[in-house]
Structure 1
Amino acid sequence: MRSLTMLAAILLALPVQAAQLTFDLGTGSRTWDTAQLLHHPQARDIDIPDDVSYKRAMHYRAVPMAALLEGVAADAHLQAEASDGFAAQMPAGSLLQTTGAQAWLAVEDPAHPWPGLGKGKPGAGPFYLVWTNPAASHISPEQWPYAVARFRLLASVAERFPALLPDPKLATDDPVNKGFALFQKNCLACHRLNGAGDAQLGPDLNIPHNPTEYFAADYLKLYIRNPQNLRQWPQAKMPAITQQVLSDEELNQVLGYLKHMAGRKIAP
């Protein structure tokens, strides 16, 4: 154990190396390196008063995402892929905004590395999607991916993964369909369902068993609100999902979607 702790300390002490970030936007692939982004014509210094990942004020050198997504339509769908298997699903429209909630690509300078995200943990670099004024568009924590390696222009989640779809007989405004929309925004970045999805971080939420099948009463809600309240585990990665992220009504809609999908299992 001591040797592992020492190794982690050594790795954290090593200088940050220049990195590369790929954009696959349908018209070809472009790769930016750290130096190019730090010296981008629109790069600037920004302050984030309440950083989601660091949970404190942070200062970054960053480029507006709108400048890196030129030519992408507002109704397109993008995916931010992190090096740890996290895959955030995002409507391009929110990333292209230049007023209200604005998305920025924070770039870690190898000469001035960011701090670790916790004791013994690496930092959010080399590339981190951050937001100024996130409350203006109800930006969720899952839309702050760090250690990003690639952005991809893709078809919508519903088109790519029909195994995620609720019963088509349900009305568009049915709570289950509302729960499906919230699931895409808040859960699909880490989890798959019916084997469908791009994330490789968390477990599948339907195969072999759906959490609504084995969590008793309100324990699933307790777990989602703060996993450490149910299972204390220092290495756990699932964050607490507060009422600011999902209201009680929205949480019930997500659980309604999961319960509905327990009856629509499709083996991967």
Structure 2
Amino acid sequence: MKSILALFALLLALPVSAAQLTIELDHASKTWQTADLLKQAQTVQIVDDVSYKRNMTYRAVPLATLLPGLTPESHLQAVALDGFAAELAAAPLLEKNGARAWLAVEDPAQPWPALAEGKPSAGPFYLVWTDPQAGHISPEQWPFQISGIKQLKTVAERFPALSPDPKLAANDPINQGFALFQKNCLACHRLNGAGDAQVGPDLNLPYNPTEYFSGDFLKRYIRDPQSLRHWPQAKMPAFAASVLPEGELDLLVGYLKHMAGRKQQP
């Protein structure tokens, strides 16, 4: 055991090496090398970085420039080295005003700090945002340690088991909650066994959290997971009201309650 820990520590201490990122769109695919991205990168100041919990400075490329020909109606998935799979609507990524998406690129000559003691950095590639409040950008829209970005069909098309009752109107509050679930939860959680994430537990099997959190405890847990269950290795972020307003939180919980009655074994 000691030898394994020693090897892990050694690996963490090794210099950051150059990496590559493949972006797969329906009409084009390109693999970018660290050096190529750094040549076109700008210096970007990020206030209150979601992952580092402080102000950070990066060399970064506007993500929209790496997505030629993509339309706002498109859908993307950013896959991280640890299995985190962020589902991303294309529209916010293509914006040039307000909240703006940037691909931060870790320079091997100037590596980023570790995310925590004993952990690697957010590199080699990290999706960061300037002025995120303008677009109500969720913490789940800041995937780090990105290994690839690909265009996919919508979540509902790929995973029918996630969908609410099809009899509901498109603007029904349950469907609004489903959209919020995709934005805030699906990067880490599956539901009914459906989804690509491998980080958090399934949110409907064997039990839906609305079945075992009474009163307002589920909402309190989403607001600040560490206030109810505190442990050092917890990964779930807190969803402040600035990111997930109270009305949207109600819609999200409403979707989960609805899905508790639509359990499907994978």
- 3-state SS of paired residue (1:204): coil
- 1:11 is matched with 11
Equivalent residues in 2 for 1:75-86, closer than 5 Å? 75-86=73-84
Q: CA deviation at 1:178?
A: 1.2
SS at match of 1:152: strand
After superposition, residues 128-207 of structure 1 pair within 5 angstroms as 128-207=126-205
Q: Which residue type is aligned with residue 184 of structure 2?
A: N
Structure 2: 5+ residue runs without aligned partners?
none
Scaled by the length of structure 2, what TM-score is found? 0.95
Corresponding residue of 1:265: 263
Structure 1's unaligned 5+ residue stretches are none
Q: Measured at CA, do residues 248 and 49 of structure 1 come closer, stay the same or move farther in structure 2, by a change above 3 Å?
A: same
| SS of equivalent to 2:18 | coil
- TM-score after normalising by structure 1: 0.94
CA drift of 1:198 comes to 1.2
Write the letter of the residue equivalent to 1:59. T
The number of residue pairs the alignment matches comes to: 266
| Shift, 1:181, TM fit | 0.8
Aligned pairs (5 A) from 1:24-39: 24-39=24-39
Deviation >4 Å, runs of 4+? 1-8
1:12, distance to aligned residue in structure 2 (A): 2.6
CA-to-partner distance for each residue in 1:102-144, whole Å, 9 max, x for gaps? 1110000001110011122211000000111111111111111
Structure 2 residue matching 1:90: 3-state secondary structure? strand
**Aligned counterpart, 1:247:** 245
Alpha carbons 2:133, 2:242 under 8 Å: kept: no
The RMSD of aligned alpha carbons is: 1.5
* Superposed CA offset, 1:195-237 (max 9, x none): 1111111111111111111222222222212111111111111
- CA shift, 1:5, in A, is 5.9
2:118 alignment partner, SS class: coil
Structure 2 counterpart of 1:60, from 58, 61, 79: 58
Percent identical among aligned pairs is 67
Aligned to 1:91: 89
Quote how far apart the aligned CAs of 1:72 are: 1.0
- d(CA) in 2 for partners of 1:8, 1:226: 31
Q: Which residue of 2 aligns with 1:104?
A: 102
1:132, 1:216 → 2: CA distance? 37
Paired residue type of 2:26: G
C-alpha separation in 1, matches of 2:251 and 2:203:
15
